[in-house]
Amino acid sequence: MSRVAVVGGGITGLAAAQRLAKGGVDVVVLESSKRLGGKVLTERDEDLTVEAGPDSFLDREPAAASLCRELRLGSDLVSPARFGALVWTGAKLARLPAGFPHGIPSSPYRAWRSGLLSGRGALRACTDLFNPRPVSGPDLSLGTFVAHRFGSEVLENLVDPLLAGTRAGEAESLSLAAATPVIDSLARHHRSLIAGLRAQDAAGPPPFVGVGGGMDRLVERLAATLLERAEVRTGTVVARIQSSTNGFELRLESGATLEAQGVILAVPAFTAAAILRELSPGAAAQLRTIQYASVASVTLVYPQGSWTPPEGTSGLLVSRAAQATLAACSWTSYKWPETAPADGSLVMRCFAGRSGRDPVSTITDLELARRLAADLGAAIGLDASPLRSKVTRWERGLPQYAVGHLERVAAAERALEATPGVRLAGAGYRGSGLPDCIRQGQEAAARVVELL
């Protein structure tokens, strides 16, 4: 029987290994840390349950929801009790209208009514309706596209805050095709993006769902399935891969070796580059160009009654114009009330870190929590002091899809064609959401089986 090594025990690697093991393939999972799950991490402290990684995923993208149902977690999927965002620009606080994918206004009038655009800004956004032709040609930056089509106010007050909260990126450098593929596709098929969004019926909140009891239940269920069918090694670092007479030899940092006929690298691009430096220098060179931003998830717990959010909102997005450490915040005890402490404490989950201006790596946990609490006070008037805080850091945690990203990934994949049996999968390549990662892991598994 052919053996496949899956390097990386995050959600991508686990999904790949589960698909391989289900098909009867001999699988070994090699994870460098002591735990499985990667950025899917649920933290529990006394009566507090909070996610340090993703707290939900899009139900309309099938890979994650289908996997949950396959693992008998389908009945445990829950929707947030609230959904909607406030936007803080530093000068004003306003509600983000529903139906604005990635901050792109399907209705400039509604954006103006919200207070996020001036009259002139709303009129400027309307000029997209008179655009003469769809986008064509090579990839371009999301910032360039939005500023040209809708004006600087839409970029600064709508698009940028969403990017800060979801990608930790700067619009001027992010790839339109890689970071927002739906927007890129609509822009290349419709003369007016507003008209394309309306044709797609963008109104209404996206159907996000989480796993009741904690997102780590998905990891636990996957791990339990794999332990029955595969070999799983944690605390195992792969240093490099070499060709061998039987396929590939994986050299471990401990000095040991492992033979496999197929390899799936479900690790960040910079880790994959180091592992591939001898086997495929061309692929490694491409992967080294993919940059990552360091981010942090910080839970702040406030006394009961400290603040009551507006109805229909679940969090805050922050424009870079605010010059704040805070990038986004979710009022967790309102969004997911089943996780709220029994004493009624207010739980706020804050996010910090952004490509290009990153204080996260240079300040202490105490100072980071203090700055975020101060930003919340300035943004929403939350003047109470937090009773406790918990900081989780993700060093080089979020990939930055720079302009031309998909071309670089494709070039790395072409370089690997000289060594069939090695595949890339994960957040650094073709989508960083939970469904994207699961889909990539499953597709890599299918492709390796075909090659074998």
* pLDDT, tens only, 321-369: 999 999 999 999 999 999 999 999 999 999 998 876 666 778 999 999 9
User: Taking the CB of residue 288, how many other CB atoms lie within 10 A of it?
Assistant: 17
Return the CATH class of domain 3-39+217-290+402-451. alpha beta
Tell me the fold of 99-199: protoporphyrinogen ix oxidase, domain 3 (1.10.3110)
Burial 103-116 (b: 16+ CB within 10 A, else e): bbbbbbebbbebeb
User: Taking the CB of residue 177, how many other CB atoms lie within 10 A of it?
Assistant: 22
DSSP 320: G
pLDDT confidence of residue 393: 94
Give Cα separations from 224 to 49, 126, 167, 227, 231 (angstroms). 22, 53, 31, 5, 11
Q: Compute the distance between CA of residue 209 and CA of residue 60 in angstroms, rounded to an integer.
A: 10
pLDDT confidence of residue 358: 63
Give Cα separations from 389 to 351, 372, 396, 443 (angstroms). 13, 11, 22, 39
- How high is the mean pLDDT of the chain? 94
Q: Are 85 and 313 in contact (CB under 8 A)?
A: yes
Q: Compute the distance between CA of residue 94 and CA of residue 111 in angstroms, rounded to an integer.
A: 10
* pLDDT, tens only, 191-242: 999 999 887 754 455 689 999 999 999 999 999 999 989 999 999 999 999 9
Non-local (6+) Cβ contacts of 366 within 8 A are none
pLDDT confidence of residue 359: 67
Mean pLDDT along residues 73-101: 93
What's the order of all strands across the beta sheet hosting 257-260?
238-244, 247-252, 257-260
203 or 291: which carries more pLDDT confidence? 291
Q: Please, where in the chain does CATH 3.90.660.20 lie?
A: 56-98+205-214+292-400
Non-local (6+) Cβ contacts of 95 within 8 A are 84, 85, 86, 87, 114, 310, 312, 313
Q: Please, where in the chain does CATH 1.10.3110.10 lie?
A: 99-199
Sign, CA torsion 244/38/79/226: positive
Ranked by mean pLDDT, the top range of 40-49, 90-99, 105-114, 440-449 is 440-449
Task: Say if residue 451's pLDDT is above 60.
Answer: yes
Residue with tokens 């001898």: 278
Tell me the whole-structure pTM to 2 decimals: 0.95
Return the CATH class of domain 56-98+205-214+292-400. alpha beta
Q: Please, where in the chain does CATH 3.50.50.60 lie?
A: 3-39+217-290+402-451
Q: Compute the distance between CA of residue 104 and CA of residue 150 in angstroms, rounded to an integer.
A: 9
Q: Compute the distance between CA of residue 440 and CA of residue 425 in angstroms, rounded to an integer.
A: 5
Q: Are 96 and 87 in contact (CB under 8 A)?
A: yes
- CA angle (73, 20, 291) in 5-degree steps: 85
Would you tell me the crossing angle of helices 11-22 and 434-451 to the nearest 10 degrees? 40
Lowest mean pLDDT across 5-19, 166-180, 203-217, 387-401: 203-217
From the list 220, 56, 54, 191, the residue with the least C-alpha distance to 133 is 191
Classify residue 89 as exposed, middle or buried by CB count within 10 Å of its CB (0-12, 13-18, 19+).
Answer: buried
